[in-house]
Amino acid sequence: MRAAKSNLPQGTLDLLILKVVALGPVHGYAIAQRLLQVSRDVVQVPQGSLYPALHRLENRGLLAADWNETETGREAKFYRLTRKGRAELGTEAASWQRLTEAVGLILGMAEGGTK
């Protein structure tokens, strides 16, 4: 029962990355671990999804990056949020909330009462 497919819906990954980076500069590998930890292993981000997403966000001007040294004494690329990225985070978070509310309404629609 290892199941627990991550299966993040399209577009959600960007939102989560922006949120983690908003808390302070982090490198890619740490982002994945943080998501895994906070979500209690529900959100698993493969590297093949993570790094392209980071580059996308950087190209869109939502993230900026610098090379620095990690606590373990290794070079890593630390990402931080730009002003534009912070605005985008707000927009996407609001959008996410609106969507989940709407889906909640739909899933809560009454039926016969089989349950």
Whose Cβ is closer to its own copies: residue 5's or residue 74's?
5
Q: Tell me the residue type at 32.
A: A
Residue pair 34/20 in contact by the 8 Å Cβ criterion? yes
Whose Cβ is closer to DNA: residue 11's or residue 114's?
11
CA trace torsion 75, 19, 10, 58 (10° rounding): -50
For the window 72-91, what string marks contact with DNA as x by the rule CB under 7 A? Answer: xxx-xxx-------------
How far apart are alpha carbons 78 and 25 in whole angstroms? 6
| Positions in the binding site for its own copies (CB under 8 A) | 7-12, 15-16, 19-20, 22-23, 35, 38-40, 42-43, 93, 95-96, 98-103, 105-107, 109, 111
